[in-house]
Amino acid sequence: MPHPSLYPMTFTPVLKDYLWGGRNLESKLGRTLPAEGVIAESWEIAAHGDGASVVENGPYAGWPLTQVHAALGLDLIGLNNTWAQERGKFPLLIKLLDANTPLSVQVHPDDAYALAHEGNELGKTEMWVVLYAEPDAELILGVTPGTTPEAFRHGIEHNSLEPYLHRVPIQAGDHVCVPAGTLHAIMGGLIIAEIQQNSNTTYRVYDWGRVGADGKPRPLHVDKALDVIDFGRVEPELNSPVVIAEEPAFRRELLCRNRYFVTERIELAAGAEFGGVCAGDSLEIWGVIQGEVAIDDVALRAVRFCLLPAAMGEYAVTATTAATLLRIYVDVA
């Protein structure tokens, strides 16, 4: 049965000042940032030991998402996330990334490797939706043909990694599914919405010769990276959206589906409505990436995200203006 105290929740994000960030969340997305310094990541919906976003509306206002999860359990995250509940984990983490300069060349482990080597941390399967891209922007995604672990290690040790890195041109509107084990780097000049497992484990293999705030190179994690890189991910292509439904005022596309999350992109004309129900199986996370909508009585404008608890019941998304949205949920079917 629907839980009477559950409602669409919005959050105050957690900001991260990693060295590759900038001020583009302010200048290009209209976000309010601290007066000085760079911001690399805005953790929009987060319940992790390294940062928890705080509810800003309704009865749970002022509560960190970790505390809301502890109070509501499966009523918040849903039966499809029972595996995460059993590990005491909120399943997902939603971020905005300002890649003002390139991120490191890196890889993330899967659940089994993370559990064995990183305590109770989850693995990290993720996906990206490109919100802004400068001309000639690109990503590193996967390896080039013939790359072996031995050749790759030699490239790291001799600062000659470039021949093994598969570069992909990218533009606003593109999306990229990134399974755990995929070698990757988000290059400069991009703003990206990232949907991922609730993990903060990254294994760097190359950092462009940079130093951190302490004047020293940031640590690399070569042995662990070589353990988990999928060298079978050779020159992967960008994913194409799959149209689920299309009407004059409504378009629904599948962007990415895996065991951890499903991401759809939904386009609504002004005044159009999408009706759904959170019947207990999964939470839903909605992100407005263009335009303005109301989710029940919660107004959202781009770029903002909203969490619908799994046991909330029926809801309606109504477009105040023409709008493009991301819909994220978990489906184990």
Write out pLDDT tens, residues 64-74. Answer: 999 999 999 99
pLDDT score at 4: 57
pLDDT score at 5: 84
Helices (H), 73-191: 74-77, 82-86, 111-117, 149-157
At which residue do the structure tokens 């060298």 appear? 231
Task: Look up 257 and say whether it is catalytic.
Answer: no
Write out pLDDT tens, residues 7-32. Answer: 999 999 999 999 999 999 999 999 99
| Domain architecture of the chain: domains with CATH | 11-228 (2.60.120.10), 242-329 (2.60.120.10)
Cα–Cα separations (whole angstroms), residue 289 to 29, 240, 301, 304, 322: 10, 18, 8, 7, 11
Q: How many CB atoms neighbour CB 1 within 10 A?
A: 7
pLDDT score at 216: 87
The pLDDT of residue 3 is above 70:
no
What percent of the chain clears pLDDT 90, i.e. is strictly above it?
93
Write out pLDDT tens, residues 138-163. Answer: 999 999 999 999 999 999 999 999 99
Higher pLDDT, residue 332 or 222: 222
Q: What six digits make up the tokens of 246?
A: 């299309």
Q: What are phi and psi of 17, to 5 degrees?
A: -105, 45
Q: Which of 204, 251, 252, 327 is catalytic?
A: 204
Q: Which residues of 250-267 are buried (b: 16+ CB within 10 A; e: fewer)?
A: ebbbebbebebbbbbbbb
Going by C-beta distance under 8 Å and a sequence separation of 6 or more, which residues neighbour residue 250? 266, 267, 268, 269, 272, 274
At which residue do the structure tokens 């489906």 appear? 331
At which residue do the structure tokens 């105290």 appear? 5
